[in-house]
Amino acid sequence: MATDDPRRRVPRTDAVLADPRLADAAGRLGPAVVKAAVTAAQARARAGELEPARVADAAVAALPETAGGLRPVLNATGVVLHTNLGRAALSDAARLAVAAAAGHTDVELDLHTGRRARRGRTALAALQDAVPEAGDVHVVNNGAAALVLAATALAGGQEIVVSRGEMVEIGDGFRLPDLLESTGARLREVGTTNRTALADYQRALGPETGFLLKVHPSNFVITGFTSAAPIEELATLGHPVVADIGSGLLRPDPLLPDEPDAASTLRAGADLVIASGDKLLGGPQAGLLFGSADLIARLRRHPLARALRVDKLTLAALQATVTGPETPTWQALRLDPAVLRERTAGACERLVTAGVPVTLVESEAVVGGGGAPEVRLPSWSLSLPEPYAEPLRTGAPAVLGRVDRGRLLLDLRCVPPAADDDLIAAIRAVAA
């Protein structure tokens, strides 16, 4: 190697680690994470991709914001409940509740008596107060787990009667029939894809019937020559009715008139209602079960319930979501388009002044997360050249938009207003 080779100027590891920024990061993120970032930066410098004098800067830039490994993302996609981004963003109240629950808590202890208590009793009480139509409630780790628990406990080795038109795929290649059959239950499909009548269910009933299953097809819509037997009719057949409403409304919402809710479904005669916590409810990932006290007791006592239980952080976030202020999901769904336009126009003006090739365009946002597929939300977006997508997505902060007809659209509906300056700075950095 030549004596003037710049690779000889790559600083030693101990010298880089002595940088105050990296020393501080080692205390927050762990020394192994910081050393790995330094080693990677040194390798780039030796390969000639980086000036040796910038090794420390490059290592600092490559560090994650937290030791958790997940990178925060500004959701500018116009999809309120984006599954790949973790669906619902938690409210400030829920975030504070999670932080408070991170240490030792009374999750299964009655501090007054010093004895063991029902796990998550205050969160369960909050859910029951929100849906008094339920005799009792139970929480597991997601909606699919709730359905698996119900099928195992109520129909193991028996038949589940379900409409052929409700045999849905729930995402990432997972299909309802496969999920249910994995529990040992047998499926008895009735009706056709577009029409299923009460008589179809009646003909299928017998001594092997475990329960009737009603599934809301929350991620698609079939229109035209269609019909389905409502809960009120199924409840007259003398067998338990389990309703998977999917998206997580606890009570009716005028904005989403076609989305079923837990309270109304129970009043209609369902014995057990299953919903998700991280969709329209706006909380953490959880499977919510509402039903009669005896049915919930059967589920809670089943051995599988232990394997599917939620941790203290989920319980804390769930209670804060149910009892706390409006969630970011609620706010994003109801954001006034005129207010959004004014805010987006202001961002556009600042970017144009900085020489960024951006325009203000009308757009549409959607609910997402397997909920209300027919609902379209009038919105506004920043329109940028498509090549901006990749550097914004991989930058700091990470900004995710959507590409439409050769343009990158950034919808600020789900971006916190306090993050506008960060988003604008990220766009300007790409344009520079």
Model confidence over 99-143: pLDDT tens digits? 999 999 999 999 999 999 999 999 999 999 999 999 999 999 999
DSSP-assigned letters across all residues of 208-275: TEEEEEEE--TT----SS-B---HHHHTTSSS-EEEEEES-BSS--TT-TTS-BHHHHHHTT-SEEEE
Same domain, 233 and 356: no
* Residue 278 domain flag: yes
**Which residue, 346, 366, 360, 369, is CA-closest to 410?**
360
Q: Which of 325, 352, 368 is the last residue of a domain?
A: 325
Same domain, 299 and 153: yes
Q: Which of 274, 308, 325 is the last residue of a domain?
A: 325
Q: How sure is the predictor about 220, in pLDDT bands with cuts at 50, 70 and 90?
A: low
Which one-letter amino acid corresponds to residue 258?
A: D
Which one-letter amino acid corresponds to residue 220?
A: F
Which pLDDT belongs to residue 228? 87
**Which residue, 397, 415, 430, is CA-closest to 344?**
415
Residue 195 has pLDDT above 80, yes or no: yes
* Residue 67 domain flag: no
Residue 326 has pLDDT above 60, yes or no: yes
Same domain, 11 and 104: no
Same domain, 308 and 364: no
* Residue 286 domain flag: yes
Same domain, 181 and 312: yes
Ranges 3-12, 34-43, 65-74, 219-228, most confident: 34-43
The pLDDT mean for the chain works out to: 92
Same domain, 130 and 276: yes
For the segment 290-308, what is each residue's pLDDT rounded down to a tens digit? 999 999 999 999 999 999 9
> What are the C-alpha distances in Å from 244 to residues 274, 323, 402?
5, 23, 31
Q: How sure is the predictor about 76, in pLDDT bands with cuts at 50, 70 and 90?
A: very high
Same domain, 300 and 361: no
DSSP summary character for residue 114: T
Same domain, 305 and 388: no
Same domain, 135 and 204: yes
DSSP summary character for residue 270: -
What's the structural domain count of the chain? 3
Lowest-confidence range among 104-108, 243-247, 271-275, 281-285?
243-247
* Residue 1 domain flag: no
Q: What angle do CA 333, 79, 277 make, to 5 degrees?
A: 70
* Residue 175 domain flag: yes
Locate 173 and state its tokens: 């290649």
Which pLDDT belongs to residue 172? 67
Q: Which of 296, 325, 354 is the last residue of a domain?
A: 325
Same domain, 83 and 112: no
* CATH code of the domain covering residue 357: 3.90.1150.180
- Quote the domain boundaries for residue 165: 92-325
* CATH code of the domain covering residue 139: 3.40.640.10
DSSP summary character for residue 386: G
Same domain, 125 and 258: yes
For the segment 391-423, what is each residue's pLDDT rounded down to a tens digit? 999 888 899 999 999 999 999 999 999 999 999
Residue 225 has pLDDT above 80, yes or no: no
* Residue 392 domain flag: yes
Q: How sure is the predictor about 171, in pLDDT bands with cuts at 50, 70 and 90?
A: low
| Inter-axis angle of helices 312-323 and 121-130, nearest 10 | 30
Q: How sure is the predictor about 279, in pLDDT bands with cuts at 50, 70 and 90?
A: very high
* Residue 297 domain flag: yes
Which pLDDT belongs to residue 329? 96
Which residues, including other chains, have CB under 8 Å from residue 297's CB and lie 6 or more apart? 136
* Residue 68 domain flag: no
Same domain, 254 and 273: yes
